[in-house]
Amino acid sequence: PFPSAWLLEGPSGIGKTSAALAVAGALASGPALLHMIGPAVTADSLRAVWDTLRLASWKPGGWRVLVIDEADAMTRAAQVLALRFLESIPPRAIVILTSNEGADSWEPRFLSRVKRLHFTAQGMAAAGAQRLVKVAAAEGFPLDEKRAVTMMREAGNNLRGALQALELDMLSATVEAA
């Protein structure tokens, strides 16, 4: 019912925030693009940002975008206030929220106000492994495709987790070489 409010949900480390910021960046910039992190979102901070979103100037044909990352960590009061805001999104404005899985952390009415897009880690091993190989090559660290796929699987197809594991491997190799 509210196509201007989107919830990108799914496991950690699979690109929800990157997708939200890519969409937001393609639509808006400067004061017309606002980004908040869920644990810091209170009713007061949401009121202030909402006023900015409503009043921000934007170029003709442009958009105003509010991204709330880790929105499931907003305070309950902020979620209740957001219900009212989601029902009155200004023209040419979009709200994009990201959330790890777990609908139990939401105020019950909240999910009915957004269009939900579920992200999954299924099938990410090959693409994530290719990314790991590229990162390793850029750092001058030898990493073969087979080991990269194993790292992705060990990280549960969580690219962020696999990149952290790669970083530890590179650090260990540096320490051993010293």
For strands 93-99 and 33-37, give the pairing.
unpaired
pLDDT, average across residues 53-75: 80
Residue 58 has pLDDT above 80, yes or no: no
pLDDT, average across residues 44-51: 86
Task: Compare 174 and 95 and report the one with higher pLDDT.
Answer: 95
Note whether 74 and 82 are within 8 A (CB): yes
pTM above 0.95, yes or no: no
- Here the contacts of 171-174 (C-beta below 8 Å, separation 24 or greater) are 173/141
List phi, psi (to 5°) of 37: -110, 125
